[in-house]
């Protein structure tokens, strides 16, 4: 009986979803996600964050690179515990070394005093989703993608029971317009949107570190669908000025272009494709049958006034009832 109980316990552990409880578990968690889609992770919510009024910070990482995800992060803690932010050493994550960011991230998920009062969440926005949003017919700009993510994460914190009182956001676009937009959505919160908020407000810096460390490790564990045997980072930081990234962007499949790691909507990627890749044309099945070209994705108006030579199309009931027939093609 004892053996059976142990086996069941082991099985429960094996099937339990992965969580992030420090730097060591961050990479394995990310590697389990589908990198062609977005994913959201919300940390355990400290009871203090439910019981007491909290401040919440919002920031992003990876907005500018030509490849990899853009990650939005939030962090929250009770107003009465803001000294914890100083104790952990939060500062603008861009001014810290990668090693220091990793160290702080690990401490905020392991130290008892941090875990009891500080929570966080991230959304990793896939480069595939960014490309599709910016290249679709009704374009969704990067600013709109960013704002949607920030609003979604704030709502995720609300749904998790966080008692939000104040919100601090590193701006996207004009801060006044962004602040008015957020105020209209969250009228009960005190909202501050500012440039370089990550270097002014420690809670935004905490969000920045959560976002930056998540993006760094997402690149480290990136799995190529197109290159399953590639196990090492051969693409660099993703910034166009990085020599390793430049070399990676020069390795183009002449038909399919780049793997999904690359943001096809970036001009850097587009120009590289124009120089080397084959020009491709794709016809819809309907276009092939009727031998009519589509304009802006729509069929020619004349198609509805003349029957195709290749198919015997039944005339509309309106014309049949009135014995009306075509006498000339338009």
pLDDT, one tens digit per residue, over 234-277 is: 788 888 888 988 888 888 888 888 888 999 888 888 888 888 87
Sign of CA dihedral 98, 104, 107, 109: negative
- Mean local confidence (pLDDT), 88-104: 86
Residue 60 counted as an annotated binding residue: yes
Model confidence, pTM? 0.78
Q: Is 70 exceeded by the pLDDT of residue 118?
A: yes
pLDDT of 262: 92
Question: Which whole-number Å values give the CA distances from 199 to 77, 86, 206, 213, in the listed order?
Answer: 18, 13, 10, 17
The string of pLDDT tens digits covering residues 149-194 is 999 999 999 999 999 999 999 999 999 999 999 999 999 999 999 9
Cα-based angle 158, 197, 149 (whole degrees, multiple of 5): 40
Percent of the chain at pLDDT exceeding 90: 58
CB 79 within 8 A of CB 53: yes
CB 96 within 8 A of CB 236: no
Length of the chain: 330
The string of pLDDT tens digits covering residues 286-305 is 555 555 554 555 555 455 55
β-sheet with 39-42: strand ranges across: 39-42, 119-125, 70-78, 54-61, 164-170, 190-194
Enter the DSSP assignment of 48. H
Domains, the chain, in order of start with CATH, read 23-221 (3.30.420.10), 243-275 (no CATH)
Residue 59 counted as an annotated binding residue: yes
């Amino acid at each position: 009986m004892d053996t059976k109980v142990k086996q069941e316990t082991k099985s429960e552990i094996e099937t339990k979803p992965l969580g992030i409880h420090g730097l060591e578990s961050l990479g394995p968690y990310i590697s389990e996600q589908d990198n062609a889609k977005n994913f959201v992770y919300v940390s355990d919510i400290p009871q203090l964050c439910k019981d007491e009024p909290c401040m919440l910070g919002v920031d992003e990482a990876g907005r500018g690179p030509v490849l990899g995800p853009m990650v939005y992060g939030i962090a929250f803690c009770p107003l009465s515990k803001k000294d914890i932010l100083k104790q952990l050493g939060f500062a603008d994550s861009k001014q810290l070394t990668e090693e220091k960011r990793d160290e702080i991230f690990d401490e905020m998920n392991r130290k008892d005093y941090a875990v009891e009062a500080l929570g966080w969440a991230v959304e990793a926005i896939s480069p595939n989703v960014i490309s599709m949003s910016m290249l679709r017919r009704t374009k969704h700009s990067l600013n709109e993608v960013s704002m949607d993510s920030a609003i979604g994460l704030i709502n995720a914190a609300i749904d998790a029971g966080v008692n939000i009182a104040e919100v601090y956001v590193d701006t996207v676009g004009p801060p006044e317009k962004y602040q008015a937009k957020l105020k209209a959505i969250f009228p009960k919160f005190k909202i501050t949107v500012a440039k370089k908020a990550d270097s002014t407000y420690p809670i935004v810096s905490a969000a920045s570190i959560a976002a930056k460390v998540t993006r760094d490790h997402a690149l480290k564990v990136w799995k190529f669908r197109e290159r399953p045997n590639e196990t090492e980072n051969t693409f660099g930081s993703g910034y166009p000025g990085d020599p390793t990234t430049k070399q990676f962007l020069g390795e183009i499949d002449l038909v399919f272009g780049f793997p999904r790691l690359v943001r096809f909507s970036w001009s850097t990627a587009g120009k590289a494709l124009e120089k080397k890749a084959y020009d491709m044309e794709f016809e819809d099945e309907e276009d092939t049958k009727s031998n009519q070209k589509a304009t802006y994705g729509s069929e020619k108006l004349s198609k509805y006034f003349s029957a195709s030579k290749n198919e015997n199309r039944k005339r509309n009931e309106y014309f049949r009832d009135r014995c009306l027939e075509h006498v000339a093609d338009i």
